[in-house]
Amino acid sequence: MNRTFSLLSLLVLLLGGAPLPSRAAEAAKPAAITRIDPTFWWVGMKNPKLQLLVHGPGIGASTASLNYAGVTLDGTQKLENPNYLLVNLSIGTDAKPGKLPLEFKGAKKVKYEYELRARTTPGDKSKVQGINSSDFVYLLMPDRFANGDPSNDVVKSLQETKLDRGQMYARHGGDLKGIEDHFGYLKELGVTAIWPTPIVENDEPKTSYHGYALTDFYAVDPRYGSNDDYVRFVQRAHQQGLKVVHDVVLNHMGTSGYLVKDAPAKDWFHQWPTFTRSNFRDAAFNDPYVSQSDRKQFGEGWFDQHMADLNQTNPLVSTYLIQNFLWWVEYTGLDGYRVDTYTYSDRKFLMDWGKALLDEYPQLGMFAETWVQGTAQQAYFARNILPEVDGFKSNMPGVLDFQLQYAINEALTRDAGWTEGISKLYYTLQADWLYEDPARNVVFLDNHDMSRFFSVIGEDLAKYKMGLAWLLTVRGTPQLYYGTEVLMKNYSNPDGKVREDFPGGWAGDKVNLFTAVGRTGPAAEAFTYVSKLANYRKTHPVLHTGKLMHFIPDGGVYTYFRYNDAGETVMVMMNTNKDEKTVDTARMAERLSGYTAATDVVTGATLTDLKSVKIPGRTAWVLELKK
């Protein structure tokens, strides 16, 4: 047996997978095809090239042939593992949908009908609508939102069959049907786009619910539904005026996946003599003084023991990933991608991946997770005005704006200072000059990896409203984490309760916060506040595309305006002090000139004196200016 292949087999054994068969043993088996990725494809794609990864015992010893009008076999390629064969095709503009007859000759002849479909996205405006600043994105964890189909709670063919809502890291049973059952709730709230954490198969033995250790790039996790269910889910969301964001992982995959257990070659994944975790220091990516060992560990270290780190410098891996994410868009008509752990991937691959997707789907919405320190570092991973660094110039349209998330939390938890407290919001927004278009960024208060916003601000409802007012009026696309609208709380450590079930998502729940009857007291007040402001935002483009002008915070009060050429102006004033403040607005004349009154868009109250404004403590006003 090849020594390097033995090392890979040993690695997989250490990680709990099945041993890789030897070359000699596989060569003795008759060829059979267990799967081909992509599972099917389309005629009429802008890029005519298609690379099929064919898997089956001993298939690498086969030769391939086909006879299909408009499709050319460009050749095959053997891989280190004899259980794989790459088949390269060119699909001409004259090719028609149908069954592509592939024939493999080895120990025996094997035929496979590969499906070429007609495209559905071109010309259908309901598909691939994109995600932009007019949207209000709702992030949820499918396993924790609602259980619409108890029949798929346990799938015995998968490794994790335990269902226990009493344990945070066990499966709870939520699914796609549960989300769909509450489309009406989301629309009432003012949501326009749904972002579920990954819905692809995670056949891992433990904590498979979170979705970030996928084991099959081409399959929906059956505990959420089938592939067809997901296609229908996207269609029905669109019919209800809701877009869908698909959460993707480029950097790694679960070690229980067939591509890890029976790896095509040792260089499909980053290999280390012993398990080596990433140092998680994104600064190594572009640090001019970085040691190569630090950079290597950041980009090639594994995220966790059950998350094999993909080697995207391998052009075959790169092609596999690019084709997969083109496939999901064309197959489902989804509207956007949120890219997990974006900063950890190979830089050339990131540019190739982004270009391939946007060349095919220019309208596709894309934003990346950039959990980094510093606005310049964050801007580096988005389209920016910065020079190219080591051959990398990001083409990612927008990012999750962690810097503003840090800033709003500081504004509501620290006293105002020259750069501290509310001033941090000002200085963070001031750095928007680094981006090509900061409006493409996604702003948020918390997410599934962070302590919940309501807990961070000390369960203070007044501060909560200030945070939501900021979220729904500042530049960019706002994202809300499920349950924030009904004051779900808790901290990310030590017990993971930031991922608790949404009350009312399961039959027999004592409290149902999906209904107005179930929402009482502060939870009802919070929901009403978010709903009023979000629905106002939905119908007022000035908060989507309007310009932003802000005034340096003074005495703990921060004021900014959203305005456009149509004469719409919204004034946002935030008083982070405990006490009432009187604000002399003379220095804001360039935005207030011509306006004589304002209406609070949440309460409907009218403000008639815009020259000397008295704003209560711990208050944010969202005011529509009137002439």
List residues with catalytic annotation: 340, 369
Angle between helices 347-360 and 315-332 (to 10 degrees): 30
Task: Kindly state the tokens that stand for 351.
Answer: 């540019």
Q: Which of 448, 316, 389, 328 is nearest to 49 (CA)?
A: 316
- Which letter does DSSP use for residue 384 in this model? B
Residue at 64: amino acid letter: A
Question: Which is nearest to 54 in space by CA: 72, 65, 41, 39?
Answer: 39
- Would you say 388 and 360 are in contact if contact means Cβ atoms under 8 Å apart? no
CB atoms closer than 10 angstroms to residue 571: 24
315-332 and 227-239 helices cross at what angle (nearest 10)? Answer: 50
Of 470, 507, 503, nearest to 487 by C-alpha is 503
Do residues 595 and 578 lie in contact, with contact meaning Cβ atoms separated by under 8 Å?
Answer: no
Q: Classify burial at 64, counting beta carbons within 10 Å of its beta carbon; exposed 0-12, middle 13-18, buried 19 or more.
A: buried
Tokens of 570: 């919204």
3-state helix, strand, coil in the chain (%, to 5): 30, 25, 45
- The single residue listed with the structure tokens 């009493």 is 166
Angle, CA 562 vertex, CA 627 and CA 591 arms, to 5° = 50
Nearest C-alpha neighbor of 260 from the set 18, 5, 1, 77: 18
Q: How many other C-beta atoms are found inside a 10 Å radius of the C-beta of residue 475?
A: 24
Look at the block and give the residue holding tokens 């890029």.
Answer: 47
Taking the CB of residue 585, how many other CB atoms lie within 10 A of it?
A: 17
Alpha-carbon distances of 529 from 482, 522, 572, rounded to whole Å: 15, 10, 15
Q: What's the rounded Cα separation, in Å, for the pair 601 and 540?
A: 11
Q: Backbone phi, then psi, for 213, in 5-degree steps? A: -130, 65
